[in-house]
Structure 1
Amino acid sequence: MNRRDFLNWIGVGFVASFLPVAIAACSDNEETTTATPGEFQAVATVTALNAEGHLLDESSPIGSISIVENPSNPEQFLAVNPTCTHNGCTVDWNSEAGKYVCPCHGAEYSPEGEVLKGPAMDSLPTYEVKVEGDEILARVI
């Protein structure tokens, strides 16, 4: 094999090694697919939320969403994106403590998504919620 052929093969190998990264960067990521601000989307029912006490839908029309009853006003619901702002893990709702807890590094968030305990520094993104009949509607703020 001569030098030119060798360098051509090295170049092809180099390009091929970055192909999976390029494909992944161009593919749709379910986590980032969200509705545009202003559009209310049906994400749950009041009946289901009352039965479960908490609802988590990682594939709702507006993206990953967690819905709980507002502790200070049981007639209202609060909704956040349950993706931890520290490391991207899905936070768990702890109904007894009334807060979200990250299973990866222990970050804690209020029902409104505000950071209560680090290592997270940023609050969870929130959704505006309204109820129409039995449907819970939410939209990106």
Structure 2
Amino acid sequence: MKRREFLNWVGVGGVASFLPMAIAACTPSGESAAEVSNTPGNFEAVGTVSELESQGQILKENFQNGAISVTRNPENAELLYAVNPTCTHKGCLVDWNAGERKYLCPCHGSEYSPDGTLLKGPAEENLPPYLVKIEGEQVLVQAI
């Protein structure tokens, strides 16, 4: 075996043996990466199921760095949507219109579907989505 081949094998072996240690060092102690994303600390309560049922929407204007809006999917009430209801055009807070089943921007007329997909401009981007779930009576949205 030539010296260059030997050094290549030693280099590859060194990197391969170091990799598991690097991964273990970056994982919080006692938790796998999958467990970290599902811990209760990553979700914040924004309202209750009864609020969602009675009002058709949960709007929390002081969620992290902005606002959060939670609605039910009009086609399947088992599915929830959570979006940042700040219009991506000029930053106005969009209104949920339950009758039309969409968000309407009062400033410049942009329209968004319940999941935040842009339907009509002048905005050019969708509303940012969040993960949302129900636990017991609480509606929880994933904190960033």
Q: Same fold (TM over 0.5)?
A: yes
Q: Does 1:57 align with 2:60?
A: yes
| RMSD over equivalenced CA pairs, Å | 1.4
Matches within 5 A, 1:77-88: 77-88=80-91
Runs of 4+ in 1 over 6 A off after TM superposition: none
Q: Does 1:70 align with 2:73?
A: yes
Among all aligned residue pairs of Structure 1 and Structure 2, give the percentage whose two residues are the same amino acid.
54
The aligned residue for residue 24 of structure 1 is none
| Cα offset, 1:72, TM superposition | 2.1
The aligned residue for residue 122 of structure 1 is 125
Counterpart CA distance in 2 for 1:63 and 1:129 is: 16
CA offset digits 1:98-122 (Å, max 9, x no partner): 0000000000000010100000000
The aligned residue for residue 14 of structure 1 is none
Structure 2: where are the runs of 5+ without partners?
1-36
Normalising by structure 1, we get a TM-score of 0.70
| Cα offset, 1:62, TM superposition | 6.5
The 8 Å contact of residues 41 and 62 in structure 1, kept in 2 or not, is answered as no
Q: Which one-letter code corresponds to 2:49 in the other structure?
A: V
Matches within 5 A, 1:41-52: 41-52=44-55
Structure 1: where are the runs of 5+ without partners?
1-37
Normalising by structure 2, we get a TM-score of 0.68
Aligned length: 104
The structure with higher relative contact order (CA 8 Å, sep 6+) is 1
Bigger drift between 94-103 and 131-140 goes to: 131-140
The aligned residue for residue 112 of structure 2 is 109
Counterpart CA distance in 2 for 1:89 and 1:54 is: 18
Question: SS at 1:73's partner residue?
Answer: coil
If you compute each CA radius of gyration, which structure gives the higher value, 1 or 2?
2
CA offset digits 1:42-64 (Å, max 9, x no partner): 11110111111112110135741
Closer/same/farther in 2, CA of residues 87 and 61 from structure 1, 3 Å limit:
closer
